[in-house]
């Protein structure tokens, strides 16, 4: 309750028993982190797009995860120093300065999420809608959702509805739902892995050829036809090997999947025990380690039953068509969803539907991540008066941040339309979704590197001050390693010497998109700073204080 | 009705509860001041303490009306806190007197969750005595003020089977029978109260000490005798190896 003094009587009283039970436990944070680097959604989606690379996917996954452990270290340390809702925005604005903090956080946690909505939607239709409609016998509807731009756009509207629901129900209910989704999704994943473990290439090939014509109207012997189409499309990616250079060049793709164990850090003002560095680190690190291990298991099981060649050929055949390199619909006219493919080995439709349904909980539990963390960044900026106060207001009845939600949903719908119909080549901007956030992370990482020197009182009073490597603060050492990794990624994306990623300087749409986003953020910052100054509020002074909670 | 908070905390409390009632908001007091209203012994020189703030609870419907109601009563909201936590907890400030109002919405959530909303209409201006006692007894890391409040409550009220100036043992036993964690913390709290008395931390008469220990014992016996749920029994098998309460954190305000 509201008492405030600390008092002790002998050893009977150890602390004042007042305060707040925060909404989320450490386990809730772990589940959120595990969903944020989601093998089933992000993982399967980006693995399939990497078909033309020459670096082995398995070593690429392992090496990138090793670097991302340093990201976890940096963020866990920053949380322990300043466990505040608003994460990157609060840390950057208080350590680097308001302008940098605002522009990098607003672009990385708000604007770029508009682009993530059609990506979440694309995964939803391929993972759930197309397979389910196909299995229910609605072949034409399944293919329409999987191939038609309007299908993608409608899916985006459904996704926006879901996300709005998640944000409206509040943190406590969100945690409950994501926990159910986590366990159900794990059950689905276990069945999926079991099918691959106990299946054989012969059984898979036979069941695929047997089931697909009935479900999706494919021609006879879809297996052989897919292998040939994939070869023609340029399938190249091996599971292992490929040389260090090729592996490094595959990493800018892989991080689309695994750069996000820190996705919940904007919420740590609402997570219990957030000043405990080790607890923060282990929650995010275990999510990363377990997901990486699951990815490795997936690769081996795919090789065992689908065969790696078939998997990559199917991916190549699909994306070659989806990206418009050919008008020829591939022999398998849907995204080669590994879960659906594996379920072909099950007898009857009911079991197939059950597996697809269970695995879809990976998407349902994850979908809220597209905007939940963003709301906290928007709130934090509004509390600092860099956005209108209205933005942080919640509806009295539903406790929903209606204005903040609208600011995320409405532009997302516009961007989804651009993406669905590929206006201004928007579909080529997929990796921008990762690039812009990586820039934000780089800002936070630089803030972490200089924290002990820029804010020594804050750092020395924190629980991380005792961690040093050869006398250098651990947060600085970890920050330097992760910053080097991020700089390499940014170089690869932007300069793109081998023209692998399609979002570099050679892509005018991409550069204009980036300039518009950063320009808009800078305009809001300077506009509001000027406006507040005229009202007698010095924004620079606001940044001298760490927000209280 | 004045739109500015009054100097006297007790007058202010009455003003808020009465006005809330007239606007259809079920608002009930808890915390130290609620104990003082119920217990003359809270004014005993050995059990006296300060009451810096007001703690309330309301139901979910009341929670929706609070922002406009309390703003109209002269309080300013803690916008940052209420935005993030307002569905279950809200904070308001009386800037003139340097006081704070802390309001639980729907349920009381600290070391244990107490579903207080269903029994709010039973009494006014405070929550019923059984729940009032539990809001203090559920604290795992008690402070001196909590102990003094608990002693005052037990000294002035018998443990029995009604809510009329009585600590309703049936209500407490029913909650403890469903929740092994709450049961365990209550047992620990009663033990701490006995230790506090044994150490002579407060100077009470022998008759008062006897009354207190008798009431502790009566409550314990009744709770122990109540039939427990299967969930309670399963949780009891794990015991204290697993933390049985929620961590309560200090919030910088």
pLDDT for B250 equals 65
3-state DSSP call for residue A436? helix
Q: Measured between CB atoms, does B67 come within 8 Å of chain A?
A: yes
Show Cβ contacts of residue A278 under 8 Å, excluding neighbours closer than 6 positions.
none
Tens-digit pLDDT profile for residues A127-171: 999 999 999 999 999 999 999 999 999 999 999 998 888 888 888
3-state DSSP call for residue B160? strand
Q: Mean pLDDT across chain B, nearest whole number?
A: 90
Q: Tell me which DSSP letter residue A96 carries.
A: T
Q: A36, A366 in Cβ contact below 8 A?
A: yes
- Average the pLDDT over A202-223 and give the result: 96
Query: Containing H/E element for A302?
Result: helix A277-305
Tens-digit pLDDT profile for residues A292-313: 999 999 999 999 999 999 999 9
The structure tokens listed for B63 are 């929670």
Q: Measured between CB atoms, does B23 come within 8 Å of chain A?
A: no
Distances (CA, A) of A523 to A109, A388, B52, B193: 17, 14, 45, 61
Tens-digit pLDDT profile for residues A394-415: 887 777 788 988 999 999 999 9
Give the span between the Cα atoms of A183 and A357, in whole angstroms.
13
Whether residue B226 has pLDDT greater than 90: yes
Instruction: Enter the ipTM.
Output: 0.72
Tens-digit pLDDT profile for residues A6-49: 333 333 333 333 466 777 888 899 999 999 999 999 999 999 99
Tens-digit pLDDT profile for residues B152-195: 999 999 999 999 999 999 999 999 999 999 999 999 999 999 99
Q: Measured between CB atoms, does B248 come within 8 Å of chain A?
A: yes
User: Strands B113-114 and B99-105, how do they pair?
Assistant: unpaired
- Average the pLDDT over A358-377 and give the result: 93
Q: How many CB atoms lie within 10 A of CB A534?
A: 8
Whether residue A109 has pLDDT greater than 80: yes
| Position B41 confidence tier, pLDDT thresholds 50, 70, 90 | confident
Sequence-ordered strand ranges (E) for A350-507: 468-469, 472-473
Task: With beta carbons under 8 A apart, name residues in chain B contacting A7.
Answer: 143-145
Q: A362, A40 in Cβ contact below 8 A?
A: yes
Cis peptide before B144 (omega within 30 of 0): no
Nearest Cα to B215, choosing from B171, B163, B169?
A: B169
Verify whether the Cβ–Cβ distance B55 to A397 is below 8 Å. Answer: no
Give the span between the Cα atoms of A119 and A4, in whole angstroms.
48
Q: How many CB atoms lie within 10 A of CB A44?
A: 24
3-state DSSP call for residue B102? strand
Q: How far is CA A267 from the centre of its chain?
A: 15
Tens-digit pLDDT profile for residues A198-208: 999 999 999 99
Extents of the domains making up chain A:
32-536
- Average the pLDDT over B12-29 and give the result: 93
Least confident of A185-189, A421-425, A478-482: A421-425
CATH of A32-536, one of 1.10.645.10, 3.30.460.80, 1.20.1740.10, 1.10.3720.10: 1.20.1740.10
Whether residue A363 has pLDDT greater than 90: yes
Tens-digit pLDDT profile for residues A265-293: 988 878 887 778 998 999 999 999 999 99
**In which residue are the tokens 């990482």 written?**
A445
User: Strand pairing partners for B76?
Assistant: B93
- Average the pLDDT over B43-53 and give the result: 64
Verify whether the Cβ–Cβ distance A1 to B140 is below 8 Å. Answer: no
Q: Measured between CB atoms, does B247 come within 8 Å of chain A?
A: yes
Give the distance from residue B96's alpha carbon to the nearest chain A alpha carbon, in angstroms.
17
Verify whether the Cβ–Cβ distance A15 to B143 is below 8 Å. Answer: yes
The structure tokens listed for A157 are 């509207």
| Position A335 confidence tier, pLDDT thresholds 50, 70, 90 | very high
pLDDT over 70 for what percent of chain B? 93
pLDDT over 70 for what percent of chain A? 96
Q: Where are the alpha helices (DSSP H) in A7-112?
A: 26-36, 44-49, 57-81, 87-95, 98-106
């Amino acid at each position: 309750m509201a008492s405030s003094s600390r008092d002790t009587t002998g050893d009977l009283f150890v602390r004042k028993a007042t305060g707040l039970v925060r909404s989320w436990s450490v386990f809730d944070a772990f589940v959120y982190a595990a969903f944020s680097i989601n093998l089933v959604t992000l993982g399967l989606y980006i693995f399939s797009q990497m078909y033309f690379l020459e670096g082995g996917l398995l070593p690429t996954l392992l090496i990138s995860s090793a670097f991302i452990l340093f990201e976890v270290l940096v963020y866990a340390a920053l949380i322990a120093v300043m466990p505040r809702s608003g994460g990157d925005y609060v840390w950057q604005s208080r350590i680097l300065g308001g302008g940098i903090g605002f522009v990098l956080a607003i672009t990385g946690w708000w604007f770029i999420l508009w682009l993530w909505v059609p990506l979440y939607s694309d995964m939803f239709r391929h993972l759930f809608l197309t397979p389910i409609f196909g299995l229910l016998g609605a072949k034409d509807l399944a293919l329409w959702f999987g191939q038609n731009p309007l299908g993608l756009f409608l899916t985006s509207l459904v996704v926006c509805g879901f996300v709005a629901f998640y944000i409206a129900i509040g943190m406590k209910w969100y945690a409950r739902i994501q926990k159910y989704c986590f366990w159900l999704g794990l059950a689905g994943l276990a069945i999926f892995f079991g099918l691959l473990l106990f299946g054989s290439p012969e059984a898979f090939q036979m069941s695929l050829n047997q089931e697909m014509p009935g479900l999706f109207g494919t021609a006879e012997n879809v297996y052989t036809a897919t292998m040939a189409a994939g070869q023609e499309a340029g399938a190249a990616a091996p599971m292992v090997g490929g040389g260090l250079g090729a592996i490094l060049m595959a990493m800018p793709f892989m991080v689309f999947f695994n750069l996000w164990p820190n996705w919940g850090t904007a919420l740590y003002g609402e997570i219990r025990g957030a000043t405990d560095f080790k607890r923060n680190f282990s929650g995010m690190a275990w999510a990363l380690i377990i997901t990486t291990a699951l990815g490795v298991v997936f690769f081996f099981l795919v090789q065992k039953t689908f065969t790696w060649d078939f998997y990559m050929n199917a991916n190549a055949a699909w994306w070659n068509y989806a990206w418009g390199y050919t008008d020829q619909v591939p022999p398998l006219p849907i995204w080669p969803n590994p879960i659906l493919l594996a379920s072909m080995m099950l007898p009857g439709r009911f079991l197939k539907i059950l597996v697809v349904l269970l695995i879809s909980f990976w998407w349902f539990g994850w979908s809220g991540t597209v905007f939940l963390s963003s709301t906290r960044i928007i709130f934090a900026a509004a509390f600092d008066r860099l956005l209108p106060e209205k933005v942080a207001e919640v509806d009295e009845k539903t406790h929903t941040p209606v204005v903040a939600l609208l600011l995320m949903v409405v532009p997302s719908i516009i961007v989804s339309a651009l993406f669905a119909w590929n206006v201004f080549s928007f579909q080529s901007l997929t990796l921008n979704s990762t690039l812009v956030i990586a820039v934000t992370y780089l800002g936070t990482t630089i803030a972490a590197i200089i924290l002990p020197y820029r804010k020594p009182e804050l750092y020395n009073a924190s629980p991380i001050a005792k961690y040093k490597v050869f006398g250098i603060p651990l947060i600085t050492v970890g920050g330097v390693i992760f910053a080097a990794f991020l700089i390499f990624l940014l170089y690869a994306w932007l300069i793109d010497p081998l023209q692998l990623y399609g979002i570099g300087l050679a892509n005018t749409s991409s550069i204009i998109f980036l300039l518009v986003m950063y320009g808009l953020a800078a305009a809001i910052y300077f506009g509001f700073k000027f406006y507040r100054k005229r009202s007698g509020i010095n924004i620079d002074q606001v940044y001298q204080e760490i927000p209280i909670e | 009705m004045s739109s500015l908070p009054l100097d006297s905390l007790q007058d202010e409390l009455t003003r808020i509860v009465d006005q809330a009632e007239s606007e259809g908001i079920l608002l009930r007091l808890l915390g130290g001041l609620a104990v003082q209203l119920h217990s003359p012994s809270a004014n005993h020189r050995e059990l006296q303490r300060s009451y810096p703030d007001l703690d309330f609870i309301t139901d979910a419907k009341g929670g929706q009306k609070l922002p406009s109601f309390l703003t109209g009563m002269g309080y300013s909201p803690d916008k940052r806190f209420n935005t993030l936590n307002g569905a279950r907890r809200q904070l308001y400030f009386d800037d003139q007197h340097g006081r704070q109002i802390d309001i639980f919405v729907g349920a009381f959530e600290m070391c244990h969750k107490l579903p207080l909303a269903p029994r709010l209409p039973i009494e006014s201006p405070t929550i019923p005595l059984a729940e009032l006692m539990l809001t203090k007894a559920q604290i795992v890391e008690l402070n001196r003020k909590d102990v003094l409040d608990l002693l005052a409550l037990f000294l002035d009220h018998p443990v029995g089977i009604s809510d009329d100036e009585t600590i309703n043992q049936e209500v407490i036993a029913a909650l403890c029978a469903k929740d092994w964690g709450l049961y365990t913390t209550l047992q620990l709290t009663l033990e701490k109260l006995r230790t506090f008395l044994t150490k002579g931390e407060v100077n009470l008469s022998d008759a008062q000490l006897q009354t207190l220990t008798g009431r502790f014992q009566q409550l314990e016996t009744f709770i122990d005798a109540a039939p427990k749920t299967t969930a309670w029994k399963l949780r009891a098998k794990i015991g204290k190896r697993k933390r049985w309460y929620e961590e309560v954190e200090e919030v910088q305000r």
